[in-house]
Amino acid sequence: MAGIGSTLSIAKTAIAAQQHGLAVTGNNIANVNNPDYSLQNAEQFNRRPALYAGFLFGTGVNTSQIKQSVDSFLENRLTDEKSTLAAFEETEAYMNILEGYFDENSDASITSIMVEFWNSWHDLSDNPLGSSERVAVYEKGRNFVTRLNKADSDLANITTDINNEIHGTLDQINSFSSQIAALNVQITGLEANRSANDLRDQRNALLDKLGMLINIDTFDQTNGSIIVNAANGSTLVNGVDYYHLTKADDRIMWQGSYGADMDITDKISGGKLAGWLEMRDEIIPKFSNELDVLAREMIWA
What is the reported pLDDT for 75?
80
- The confidence score (pLDDT) of residue 296 equals 83
Round to whole Å and give the CA distance between 50 and 242: 50
Closest CA to 143 of 97, 111, 96: 111
Dist CA 169 CA 161 (whole Å): 12
Contacts of 95 (CB under 8 A, 6+ apart): 279, 283
Helix, coil or strand: residue 119: helix
* Secondary structure of residue 255 in the 3-state scheme: strand
CA geometry: angle at 287 spanning 284 and 288, to 5°? 85
pTM, whole model, 2 decimals? 0.79
Q: What does pLDDT average to over the chain?
A: 83
Question: Does 38 have pLDDT greater than 70?
Answer: no
- Once rounded to an integer, what is the mean pLDDT over residues 206-222? 93
Q: So what's the pLDDT on residue 63?
A: 66
Distance CA 188, CA 109 (A): 61
